[in-house]
Amino acid sequence: GLRVGRVLSEAGVVTLDPGFTNTGSCESSITYIDGDRGILRYRGYPIEQLAKNSSFLEVAYLLIYGELPDAATLEQFIRRIQRHRLLHEDFKAFFTAFPHDGHPMAILQAGVAGLATYYEDTLDPRDPEQLSEAAVLLIAKMPTMISYIAKRAAGLPLLYPDSQRGYAEDFIRMTFGMPYQAYDIDPALVRALDMLLILHADHEQNCSTSTVRLVGSSQANLYASVASGVGALAGPLHGGANEAVLRMLTQIRDSGDTVQSFVDKVKNKAEGVRLMGFGHRVYKNYDPRAAIVKDAAHDVLTRLGKKDDLLDIAMELEGIALADDYFKERKLYPNVDFYTGLIYSAMGFPTKMFTPLFALGRLPGWIAQYKEMAEDPATKIGRPRQVYIGEAERSYVPLRQRS
Ligand code: ACO
Binding-site residues, ligand 1, Cβ < 6 A: 19, 237-239, 241, 266, 274-281, 330, 332, 335-337
Amino acid 309: pLDDT: 87
Which residues touch 218 (CB under 8 Å, ≥6 apart)? 381, 382
Question: Which region, left, alpha or beta, applies to residue 394 given φ > 0 means left and ψ of -120 to 50 means alpha?
Answer: beta
**How distant is the alpha carbon of residue 195 from its chain centre?**
14
Tell me whether residue 124 is one of the annotated catalytic residues. Answer: no
Q: Which is catalytic among the residues 280, 295, 298, 309?
A: 280
Whether the CB-CB separation of 194 and 168 falls below 8 Å is answered with yes
How far does the centroid of ligand 1 lie from the alpha carbon of residue 238, in Å? 10
Closest-lying ligand 1 atom to the alpha carbon of residue 358: 51
Position 7 scores a pLDDT of 53
Encode pLDDT of 90-107 as tens digits. 998 998 999 999 999 999
Calpha distance 354→250 (Å, rounded):
15
Q: What pLDDT is recorded for position 5?
A: 58
Q: Nearest CA to 137 among 379, 367, 382?
A: 367
Distances (CA, A) of 7 to 13, 36, 388: 5, 34, 11
Contact call for residues 317 and 275 (beta carbons, < 8 A): yes
Q: Is 238 a catalytic residue?
A: no
Mutate to test the pocket of ligand 1, among 264, 330, 362, 366 (most ligand atoms within 8 A of CB): 330
Q: Which residues of the chain have pLDDT under 50?
A: 1
Q: Report whether 326 contacts 337 (CB < 8 A).
A: no
Cβ–Cβ contacts within 10 Å for residue 308, how many?
17
- Can you tell me the distance from the alpha carbon of 325 to that of 201, in angstroms, rounded to the nearest whole number? 32
- Edge-to-edge order in the sheet of strand 39-42: 31-34, 39-42, 45-46
Strand-pairing partners, residue 7, are: 13
Task: Find all residues with CB under 8 Å of 55, minimum gap 6, and list them.
Answer: 167, 194, 198
Instruction: Report the SS3 class of residue 6.
Output: strand
Q: Looking at 84-127, list the stretches that DSSP marks H as alpha helix, in order from N- to C-terminal side.
A: 91-96, 104-118
Q: Which residues in 252-298 belong to E strands, given as ranges?
A: none
> Rounded to the nearest whole angstrom, what is the distance from the C-alpha of residue 194 to the centroid of ligand 1?
28
Task: Return d(Cα 199, Cα 366) in angstroms, integer.
Answer: 14
Output the residue whose Cα is nearest ligand 1's atom 29.
281
Residue 375 Cα, ligand 1 centroid: separation in angstroms?
34
| Amino acid at residue number 19 | G
Task: Give the per-residue pLDDT at 326.
Answer: 96
For the chain, the 3-state helix, strand and coil shares in percent, each to the nearest 5, are: 55, 5, 35
Query: In angstroms, how far apart are the furthest CA atoms of the chain?
Result: 77
Is residue 227 classed exposed, middle or buried when 0-12, 13-18 and 19+ CB atoms within 10 A define those classes? Answer: buried
Best probe residue, ligand 1, of 203, 243, 281 (max atoms within 8 Å of C-beta) = 281
Strand partners, 334: 278
- Give the pLDDT confidence score for residue 6 in this predicted structure: 56
Calpha distance 186→196 (Å, rounded): 16
3-state class of 238 per DSSP? coil
pTM for this one?
0.92
Name beta bridge partners: 3: 16
